[in-house]
A and B are shown apart, each in its own frame.
Chain A
């Protein structure tokens, strides 16, 4: 009795083993072992920041590619790419570390609400419906599509300002939030020496008076910064200034002249020469990570917007 059981079970086991062996030989997929090695070196977050479906896809592409030009794992950065290069015996190309930047500073105080959105809390849905809860149709909606898209918990909506904020320690510049933002506010910018960055924190293309009316922190396209910039890094197009980070030398002159405080500087040591009277209140709350120019005095802004336009706005 026991013997029969042992023999039959053993026979079944052997037949099964043979079948499996045959199948594994017949249907064997030959894979470059280096793909596995490269994948091992990658962070394994499958964020898609490299442009491939996941880390495995990127690893396969790296092995196949002639050179590693243009291949970058934004999460692992240069060290990981160097590792991959050594595995594959190829040259690694140096890439500058980048970081996501939210180009909107229309805080709740600066940007009065004109209506209440009562749909699904999704930026995509709201922006396909209309311009948003405030007069500014370009700014951050604050429903957090970028937050949902981020795999690294590196972007959050600040409940006080209603605007997305990037945690640069965690940000890997994978670009998921850039794709998720329907307003195109988020940009990947050079991280800069000591994480110092200067950028125009506004994308409002409306004319100065309209933009100004909708948001007191808006870039009004006055062009003062462009004139001030000694390196020609600033261009004003469609009523909004843009700083080319490849040309910017971090002199901070533009920050000082901006009448609406739309140009932000990050991680700079506090200025010593700052005139104390006008620039104190707002900076304190964020002093640790960000010293930005406080909101300007309203009179100053109105001087810069063309008076005719202001009048037309009022008439309307």
Chain B
């Protein structure tokens, strides 16, 4: 009877054990430091925004898969959760709940599921959700809670005192900016996940160690912004801020490490990744320096997301035996 139960399948017969959920949860773990920092500075607001965003993303994915697409829900793979966290990290911590839910609906319902779900979306869902909110609710999306370095976990939400971000200050020509140290650790205004460069870099290191992503996109993207803004700064230090300020401020770190590296919407070859990252870097710098928006990372990534299929089409991996 033994032989009746033999399985037959083509080789290979073993699998490395990697899985989509392992990668997704890996990214979530890498986001923990940034989340802790945001809890420290933004307190209750950060917690509410993140929770609402995650819960509504997961719920929308479940409902759409179950009732519209009529297939087995895959919410346990962690991708909806990741979208939720990333969306929250791109929002000010004093955003009202209903706006967050709307953003989650757009991110999951329009940007992700309408294309067929994970793997088939053409733009990063979290970013699409954020940009949708930015265009629809410009006022709410650009009033940031004021950060008070002295109070840990402030118990304020929509009632928080509001202030400005480094980039919006720059855009308005204000000269008194936070110090580099406070920007590194996250003690300045901004979306809740983007403030602390150190926490984000810690996540980057974790993802490199776990081989979830390669260094190409984040490093090239940040370097491009650094070089471009550096040149402009050298040309005219009065009009253009220092490149260090640019790479530490706004959503550049968050975008470079967690958003631009999204598997589905970034190129597959190393060469393609470099082209893609340079494109994002240039677009970001151009929007920041010459555009009317103070911040350009989201737009830059979305535009390059759309170019990714083209890059994949024309940039092939280095073929064995090829000079």
Contact = CB atoms under 8 A, between A and B. Distances in A.
Task: Please say whether the chains A and B touch (CB closer than 8 A).
Answer: yes
Interface of A: 113-120, 125, 129-130, 133
Interface residues of B, number: 8
A82 B10 CA distance: 50
Contact of A117 (B3, B4, B8): B8
Contacts of A113: 4
A118 B4 contact: no
B67 interface: no
A130 B8 contact: yes
B7 A114 contact: no
A185 to B, nearest CB: 20
Contact of B10 (A114, A116, A129, A133): A129
Nearest to A128: B10
15 contacts: A114-B3, A115-B5, A116-B5, A116-B6, A116-B8, A117-B7, A117-B9, A118-B7, A119-B8, A119-B10, A120-B10, A129-B8, A129-B9, A130-B8, A133-B8
Contacts of B7: 115-118
A115 B9 contact: no
Contacts of A120: 10
Contacts of A115: 3-8
B9 A118 contact: yes
A114 B4 contact: yes
Interface of B: 3-10
A117 B4 CA distance: 11
Contacts of A129: 8-10
Nearest to A119: B9
B12 to A, nearest CB: 11
B10 to A, nearest CB: 5
A117 B5 CA distance: 10
Given A114-B4, A115-B3, A117-B7, 19 more contacts: A113-B4, A114-B3, A114-B6, A115-B4, A115-B5, A115-B8, A116-B6, A116-B8, A117-B8, A117-B9, A118-B9, A119-B8, A119-B10, A125-B10, A129-B8, A129-B9, A129-B10, A130-B8, A133-B8
Contacts of A114: 3-4, 6
B254 to A, nearest CB: 39
A316 to B, nearest CB: 14
B15 to A, nearest CB: 12
B259 to A, nearest CB: 34
Contacts of B6: 114-116
A114 B5 CA distance: 7
Nearest to A112: B4
Nearest to A131: B8
B101 to A, nearest CB: 40
A119 B3 CA distance: 18
A34 B6 CA distance: 60
Nearest to A120: B10
A129 B7 CA distance: 13
A123 to B, nearest CB: 13
A214 to B, nearest CB: 14
Nearest to B11: A129
A167 B257 CA distance: 56
Contacts of A116: 5-8
A116 to B, nearest CB: 5
Contacts of A130: 8
Nearest to B13: A118
Contacts of B3: 114-115
Contacts of A133: 8
B30 to A, nearest CB: 34
A251 B3 CA distance: 44
Residue among B4, B7, B10 having the largest count of chain A Cβ atoms under 10 Å: B10
A125 B5 CA distance: 20
B178 to A, nearest CB: 51
A10 B10 CA distance: 67
Nearest to A116: B7
A223 to B, nearest CB: 33
Contacts of B4: 113-115
A125 B8 CA distance: 12
